[in-house]
Chains A and B, each alone.
Chain A
């Protein structure tokens, strides 16, 4: 094995219909017009020396190494900034160029330490490589002149010298090694869009400066690492590389954090992960990543990982380590006993949106074919189930309509109930870049999220609505579009059911949806609603990006359909730059839904009652399947409390922390007789478990994840599972204990079964994924290479379906007792329940969940910044610290749910989406009052949690 090769062409690819032909060192090449000489040369395999150029950044022309000679032109222009012109004859190596390059290198090296042998970048340093390439043999200036290298020079303190900045937990900044090529500064600006870096001073004083010459951690830096990746020397270096050394091989794999699905080169030394480097050919991330994917993987070797199976009789007992056989047999015996005693349907399971498609497939197969029940659900229940329902109803598929590259062609971007710069940072960066290029931005969100106003990006309209009024706002926007004659009649006539459209148009045109009527309800000025609607309808390609702020409401499904209506009514569907794009939360939540995790659907979103579909599975699996839908997660918990549901197998999901109304979830789990948890860590749900099966990380297994753009990407094993078995092997072993004759030798065999039984996956094979990198489903005979954009000529369901979206306010209302609305979300450095990110250095950015409260509401309650406050709802109460900010509107408070001891979900209620039971996390009426510290229930939970994690010492 070796490092995955990646060619750096020096400058970006150019798209043009015209080509020009040039001759470089005697070789002719035709390139698109606008291509730099440097890139054209590299296409021929000719490396022109360079330091400040790299193909992820715009050409800069500062390092003066890439000079070339062009026949008929005076001077020696820089090849990175000079475009190819027709019939140009270029020479990249001449005596004159050699002399110039040597002279430049001498200057660089005269102010650079000569510690190559002990330098962390040794073997991966472009300066070193260039010194070799230009044939540098001596440095006439010596090393004793003015420099940035030595702390003392000529017996005095060297005021040019700056000590290494080690403030960031993941990388160091050593100004002594900096050649001021600007690549880090440009990466921060162009790729990440944070603008945290600059060059301070000028001339010899020039230095890379985070913020205002601050340490990295105090600057605006979000630690995405784009600068580290761009740095050609050891100036910005991963601490892991300093600690371990250079990697010797790498493997391309897919990130296990959010639904963006970034692909990385996992750079390894043996079985030790050295660093994750975003893969330039990754079609979801195009060589970029965020702090989580690039740096926050330390959890995979964290000491808290449980590596041996464990069992216990009662949840008050300490855990006892046992063999795999004993643990699996315990599960099989208990499930059989319970099914014998309470009936077949007294058991069920939950698939994991963090595990691979293949693993999800096996878990749902085990539940349906092994347990003989359809009681299977997944965490999408609590996040994007309304997306599945809403988009399937309107268009015919339960997924987003675009690929992420489509953003590059959007003219108007609408972000509703999503916080992409925090939740989906790589998409956030892509959106910001497009907005800097001139796209207009509409944000519909109760909070002033970062993208509303961040350096060089500003929303044209921010509709800061009251939580729970999405449907009102969107239907009102439809009102404006229809009544002002902005609908795309031609598109509607061709693509949609015209009768339904007319009915819908009449419905939205009613005065009760005029912005003037809706304004007082939502707190958004009528003018803003009108302006936003007009811009969406008339601003060119308009694309909607939305998140859980849309779905996690009692009207979640209605909101999704209201979004679908807007896109259809304006013809913004079926081509690049437009569409309806749910930003899926977890790495494989799209995949877990595709793989048949819902109690009413077999894989590929086909209803369980469909006899033909069911028969195909029954034939393949040699079993009979129940034709009745099973229980959803909340129904399982309700049934458990009632006494009819007794055992559950939960793979990689922490329902106790992540699901709403925690007290009820706890009661449900406590009422069960056998709770089986398969996870990396003793998570919160495991407090109530009787059997713990250790899980494996994404680094330890093969498989596939499907991201938010329906892109199926390979996950590749880079190290042996520390627990001895990949998760699919655990499920297979469990199935065999249940008497099922499963013999998958590799996840690719599971994918063969998926492809054989699921039409939209029919063309998916590991061979294809290895060959083309990734495909977007549907991938079948009709679309052999997958489908980047859906509904191109017609909607999957046939005619687009307009649904009347009546606004019905949630039952959860504010009143004198609970006057504020709580909404929940997450932040950049932490991920979901935090089980992974809390076990990394990311805690330096976010140690605890805080309650954001507006200064006005805080003052009324005598709350100061950093004070402990109690937050009460009808469901429960907790305490946490307050952060006073006008990011939230008066009347709205906000918190995250990353830390289990906060117990944020004690407060959220059991209200849920009418169609899918997706919980209403985003609206809870609460009161906030000063507190002295954590509440009794939090302290008790902490004690209980500690108690229930005890592991008995191994018997001699």
Chain B
């Protein structure tokens, strides 16, 4: 059972209306849309655009600019592994390759069964405990090969 609602125009309009009073409401609206639907569906873009009286292109430019807005649904579990410099210097690249093998999915992809999405992230602010990762929103530090395997088991792999 998905923790997200199926997309609907009416719900999107509601989300737009809820944030319209804010200064610069576009980002909060997109966050809300992603929160509710699990991603930013293409069909939501014209609705948001019309609600803010901007063009589809305006909204699309913002959605595609930010890595954290997803245009496709994520898997049930989201694993993000830091690929930035500090983690790289602590063996992060090798762990990243290991994670791809253990999870059976490449970076930026969601597994065919929809179970897991693997993403790269550039700095989680845990440089002191590199290499770092994030699993379904929980931070993990001092990641090892065994740690990666544990994550794989945790997400059903």
**What is the CB-to-nearest-CB distance from A380 to chain B, in angstroms, rounded to a whole number?**
37
Distance of A175 from chain B, by nearest CB (Å): 14
Chain A residues near B97 (CB-CB < 8 A): none
A195, B60: Cβ atoms closer than 8 Å:
no
A212-B54 CB under 8 A given contacts A201-B65, A202-B65 = no
Inter-chain contact B53/A197, CB cutoff 8 Å: no
Q: Does A541 contact B (CB under 8 A)?
A: no
Determine the distance from Cα of A202 to Cα of B56 in the docked complex, in whole angstroms: 18
In-complex Cβ contact of A458 among B45, B53, B61, B64 (8 A): B53
Q: Which of A202, A219, A455 contacts B54 (CB 8 A)?
A: A455
Asked if A352 is at the interface (CB within 8 A of a chain B CB), the reply is no
Residue B42 at the A interface, CB < 8 A?
yes
B65:A197 contact, CB within 8 angstroms: no
Residues of B within 8 A of A210 (CB): 57
Q: What residues of A have a CB within 8 angstroms of the CB of B65 in the complex? A: 199-202
Contacts of B42 in A (CB 8 A): 212
Q: How far is the CA of A454 from the CA of B58 in the complex (A)?
A: 13
* Smallest CB gap from B65: residue in A: A202
Q: Which residues in A have their C-beta under 8 angstroms from that of B18?
A: none
CB neighbours of A720 from chain B (8 A): none
Choose among B53, B55, B57 the residue with the greatest number of A CB atoms under 10 Å from its CB: B57
Q: A201-B64, A212-B60 are in contact. Are A196 and B55 (CB under 8 A)?
A: yes
- What class of interface size applies to chain A in its complex with B? 20 to 34
Number of A-B contacts (CB under 8 A): 56
Contact mask for chain A residues 213-256; partner B; CB cutoff 8 A; 1 contact, 0 none: 10000011000000000000000000000000000000000000
| With contact pairs A212-B42, A212-B45 given, residues A198 and B53 touching in the complex (Cβ less than 8 Å) | no
Chain B residues with Cβ under 8 A from A219's Cβ?
Answer: 56-57
Contacts of B56 on A, CB cut-off 8 Å?
Answer: 211-212, 219-220
Binary A-proximity of B47-88 (CB < 8 A = 1, otherwise 0): 001000111111011001100000000000000000000000
Interface size class on chain B is 10 to 19
Q: Whole-angstrom distance from the CB of A81 to the nearest CB of chain B?
A: 21
Q: How far is the CB of A641 from chain B (nearest CB, A)?
A: 51
| Residue of B49, B53, B55, B60 touching A200 (CB-CB under 8 A) | B60
A236 to chain B, nearest CB (A): 15
Chain B residues closer than 8 Å to A198, beta-carbon distance: 55, 57-58, 60-61
Known: A195-B58, A200-B64, A209-B60. A455 touches B53 (CB 8 A): yes
Tell me, in angstroms, the Cα distance from A4 to B121 when the chains sit together: 53
On whether A195 and B54 interact (CB within 8 A), knowing A200-B64, A211-B60, the answer reads: yes
B57 touches A220 (CB 8 A): yes
Chain A residue with the shortest CB-CB distance to B67: A202
A195 to B59, CA, bound (A): 10
Q: Answer whether residue A152 sits at the interface, using C-beta atoms and an 8 A cutoff.
A: no
Considering the chains assembled together, what is the distance between the CA atoms of A209 and B45 in angstroms?
14
CB-nearest residue of chain A to B58: A195
B120 to chain A, nearest CB (A): 13
The answer on a CB contact under 8 Å between A456 and B60 is no
Contacts of A211 in B (CB 8 A): 55-57, 60
State the Cβ distance, A188 to closest chain B Cβ, in Å: 8
Interface contact A456-B53, CB-CB below 8 Å: yes
Nearest chain A residue, comparing its CB with the CB of B50: A453
- Judging by beta carbons under 8 Å apart, are A213 and B60 in contact? yes
For the complex, give the distance between the alpha carbons of A456 and B54 in Å.
6
> Is A194 an interface residue when CB atoms closer than 8 A count as contact?
yes
B16 smallest CB distance to A (angstroms): 15
- Chain B stretch 22-65: residues in CB contact (< 8 A) with chain A: 42, 45, 49, 53-58, 60-61, 64-65
Task: For B60, give the chain A residue with the smallest CB separation.
Answer: A212
8 Å CB contacts to B: which residues of A181-201?
Answer: 194-201
Does A194 contact B55, Cβ atoms closer than 8 Å? Answer: yes
Which of B42, B54, B56 is the most central at the interface, judged by chain A CB atoms within 10 Å of its CB? B56
Bound CA span A200–B40, Å = 15
Does the CB pair B57–A196 fall under 8 Å?
yes
Q: What chain A residues lie within 8 Å of B60 (beta carbons)?
A: 198, 200, 209, 211-213
Q: Please, how many angstroms separate the alpha-carbon atoms of A196 and B60 in the complex?
A: 11
Query: Bound state CA distance, A173 and B60, in angstroms?
Result: 19
**C-alpha gap A199/B60 in the complex (Å):** 9
Question: Do A199 and B55 touch across chains, with their CB atoms under 8 A apart?
Answer: no
Measured between beta carbons, the chain B residues less than 8 angstroms from A200 are: 60-61, 64-65
Which residue on A lies nearest to B52, using beta carbons?
Answer: A455
Give the distance in Å from the alpha carbon of A199 to the alpha carbon of B54 in the complex.
15
Q: How far is the CB of A835 from chain B (nearest CB, A)?
A: 33
Whole-angstrom CA separation of A211 from B59 in the bound complex: 9
Taking CB atoms, residues of chain B closer than 8 Å to A455 are 49, 53-55, 58
Question: Which of A201, A211, A457 gathers most chain B CB within 10 Å?
Answer: A211
Q: Given the complex of chains A and B, what is the CA–CA distance between A475 and B55 in angstroms? A: 37
Contact of B57 among A197, A205, A458 (CB under 8 A): A197
Interface string of A803-831 (1 = CB under 8 A from B): 00000000000000000000000000000
Nearest CB on B from A16, distance (A): 31
Q: Which residues of B contact A457 (CB under 8 A)?
A: 53
Question: Which of chain B's residues have a CB closer than 8 A to the CB of A458?
Answer: 53
Closest to A188 in B: B57
Of B42, B55, B56, B64, most buried by chain A (CB within 10 Å of CB) is B55
- The residue in chain A whose Cβ has the minimal distance to the Cβ of B66 is A202
Complex CA distance for A197 and B57, rounded to whole angstroms = 6
What's the nearest-Cβ distance from chain A to residue B13, in Å? 15
Residues of B within 8 A of A197 (CB): 57
Q: How far is the CA of A194 from the CA of B55 in the complex (A)?
A: 8
**Chain B residue, CB-CB nearest to A219:** B57
User: Considering the chains assembled together, what is the distance between the CA atoms of A774 and B53 in angstroms?
Assistant: 38
Q: B6 CB to closest chain A CB, in angstroms?
A: 20
**Minimum distance in angstroms from B96 CB to a CB of chain A:** 19
CB proximity of A216 to chain B, nearest CB, Å: 11
Give A456 to B53 CA distance when docked, in angstroms: 6
Chain B residues within an 8 Å CB radius of A205: 64
User: Closest CB of chain A to B29's CB: distance in Å?
Assistant: 16
A212-B42, A212-B45 known; A199 and B53 CB under 8 Å?
no
Instruction: Using CB atoms, name the residue of chain B closest to A197.
Output: B57
Give Cα A197 to B59, complex, Å: 11
With the chains together, A198 CA to B42 CA distance in Å?
16
Known: A195-B54, A200-B61, A211-B57. 4 other contacts (CB 8 A): A195-B58, A202-B65, A205-B64, A212-B57
Q: Can you pick out 13 interface pairs between chain A and chain B where the beta carbons lie within 8 Å of each other?
A: A195-B54, A195-B57, A195-B58, A200-B64, A201-B65, A209-B64, A210-B57, A212-B42, A213-B64, A220-B55, A220-B56, A455-B54, A456-B54
What 6 A-B pairs come out closest when comparing CB atoms? A198-B61, A195-B55, A198-B57, A455-B55, A212-B60, A200-B64
Question: Which of A's residues lie within 8 Å of B, judged by CB?
Answer: 194-202, 205, 209-213, 219-220, 453-458
